[in-house]
Amino acid sequence: MIKSSTDKATGFEKRFENVDTVVFEDSLAASKAVAKEIAELIKLKQSKNENCILGLATGSTPKGLYAELVRLHKEEGLSFKNVISFNLDEYYPMEPDSVFSYVRFMKELLFNQVDILPENIHIPDGTLSKEEISAYCNAYEAKIEALGGIDLQILGIGGNGHIGFNESGSLQNSKTRLVALDHITRVAASKDFGGLDKTPRTAITLGVKKIMEAKRVVLMAWGEGKSNIIKASVEGPVTNQVPASFLQEHRNATFVIDKSASSKLTRIDTPWLVEKVEWTDKMARKAVLGLALHLKKPILMLTDADYIENGMSDLLADSGPAYDININIFNKVQQTITGWPGGKPNADDSKRPERAEPARKRVLIFSPHPDDDIISMGGTFKRLQEQGHDVHVAYQTSGNIAVADDEALRFAAFVCDYNEKFGIESPEANAIYEKAVDFLKNKKDSEIDIPEVRYIKGIIRKGEARATSHFVGLKDENIHFMELPFYETGTIEKKPIGEEDIKITMDLIEKIQPHQIYAAGDLADPHGTHKVCLDAIFESVKRLKEKPFMADCWVWLYRGAWQEWGIDEIEMAVPMSPGQVLEKRHGIFKHQSQKDGVVFQGSDSREFWQRAEDRNRETAELYHQLGLAHYAAMEAFVRWIF
């Protein structure tokens, strides 16, 4: 059975959970634990001269699992010759050699790197005619039954709770079949297909019945984006609206999740409801703010009865009465608000989020994509510049894959028209334009842009980023285009962070020697670039921490493009007036290629300026609900201690 060193909850503490749920520090540790269980099962079956029947999943979640299984094969001699695999699903229609096919996914990540026998691999066939699918699905299930059923089934989970492609509404006795994909599922997949209009509408999936018949089921989930559906699946009622909840009735199922995915579970989110806790300042703040928002009361209006009736009598006993607790928490929250994100000169900074000295700070803002700076912290960005700090912005990637093909053609044509108008002879520019037109006219959905097209798209985004920085007030020498190598694959799938990425980041930090670093802590970014960029910054800062200048460097993490910090997490909140909100909007508008139909929209249909304004307004509204001053909007930050 999978166990986590960080998952120390007792049965009493898990009373809210209706299925075994194991929490790991991160997805890497979790993936290794699941791989270990699979390896032990394979070896046990080998010792009995039996086949091991595995049900396998695709998507981003099991990538770490497959990498560890490959390592176990190559480094520790784990053989897969007795393994017979059945994959959960495949898009339909889908050619097996397509870059989007699960056949190709499984071959590249697992099958081609281990010694599994080709005849033992089973993946739904996306090339069948519709008339053939029903008989094919019956035969697929018959093969599983003939082998005695699935020994261990690996699952991921969709944002709507789907397992396999058994969407909301699927019945517990549903069979392997062709299904229509839910809009939520298609939106989540659209990042891989380059847009919703190119994303398949149907898929072949193993039915819920066969999943429930597996002898052992392990469902894996990573990240904050999965936290709400994990809570619904684990703690909520069994319902076909959340197919993963069916696993509550499985005789041997375990949810294996990382800390981020566990964040909404009762024992993690409100542990005082399930056990006696040590009331640290952080936990007390989380509990009190949560209570105030739940009861829709300002902090200072909470009563002893409110604490007692909502499972917080221990806090009242330790630190009460309510009046004292309320004043303490109110003051702490109030002290996070500052109109001086670089520190207020000649002021008492003992109760401010930032230092007063040095009065003029060197500030380095890292932006993963060319618009994250203005979207997520545009108000703070402009205020830092206006308050006289030496502000630098560093665009970590080109962001070229997020530019539509017609935008690239429009700009290439502009160059040709410009040359012609002013009598500039440039056969090279004309040749590049013709090459781009020819490529894009015949481009397949699965095809990677040629270098010329990528460069044009990168130049478009570079120009937009420069225009935004000029709008804020920066000089060209304070604008840095890093173009980290990990990003430049031309596809959604990026390379892992490498030494060159870290060196480029370290060199820039050493060159500027900042007193403040701002970095994107928005890890819900649907295509993962934020995470890699943040890892590069974290690793660089750790390697540089012994340098004398780093003793005066603070690192602030911003969010906002995809989500916002929890109200209890915020350590610096920078308010904005209605006029400053409009200024920020105008700064975002400089990124014309990202307006009116973004290539990678994610599950949020709003444009980025709308998302940013709504989230900033919501943060300000939360502060107001808690009884603090009412602002038009607020940008929020959390300090990272290295």
Q: Catalogue the active-site residues.
A: 167
Q: How far is CA 284 from the centre of its chain?
A: 28
CA distances from 33 to 63, 72, 170, 256, 595 (A): 14, 12, 30, 9, 43
Secondary structure letter of residue 622 according to DSSP: H
Q: Is-contact 527 492, C-beta < 8 A?
A: yes
331 C-beta neighbours (distance < 10 Å), count:
11
DSSP-based three-state secondary structure for 247 = helix
DSSP-assigned beta bridge partners for residue 254: 20, 218
Q: Is-contact 390 484, C-beta < 8 A?
A: no
- What is d(CA 602, CA 405) in angstroms, rounded to the nearest whole number? 19
Greatest extent of the chain over all pairs of C-alpha atoms, in Å: 83
Q: What percentage of the chain's residues is helix, strand, coil (to nearest 5)? A: 45, 15, 40
Secondary structure letter of residue 26 according to DSSP: S
Strands (E), 38-135: 52-56, 83-87, 89-92, 121-122
- Long-range pairs, 535-538, Cβ under 8 A, ≥24: 535/497, 536/396, 536/484, 536/486, 536/497, 536/501, 536/502, 536/505, 537/366, 537/505, 538/640, 538/642
Report how far apart the first and last C-alpha atoms of the chain are (Å, whole number): 35
DSSP-assigned beta bridge partners for residue 640: 555
DSSP-assigned beta bridge partners for residue 89: 205
- What is d(CA 178, CA 91) in angstroms, rounded to the nearest whole number? 9
Q: In what order do the strands lie in the sheet with 177-180?
A: 89-92, 202-205, 177-180
Q: What are phi and psi of 107, to 5 degrees?
A: -65, -45
- What is d(CA 333, CA 86) in angstroms, rounded to the nearest whole number? 53
**H helices present in 175-312, as ranges:** 183-193, 208-213, 227-235, 266-269, 281-295, 304-309
- What is d(CA 486, CA 295) in angstroms, rounded to the nearest whole number? 47
Q: Which residues of 181-217 are buried (b: 16+ CB within 10 A; e: fewer)?
A: bbebbbbbbbbbbbeeeebbebbbbbbbbbbbbbebb
Helix (H) or strand (E) holding 214: none
Q: What are phi and psi of 45, to 5 degrees?
A: -65, -40
- What is d(CA 103, CA 106) in angstroms, rounded to the nearest whole number? 5
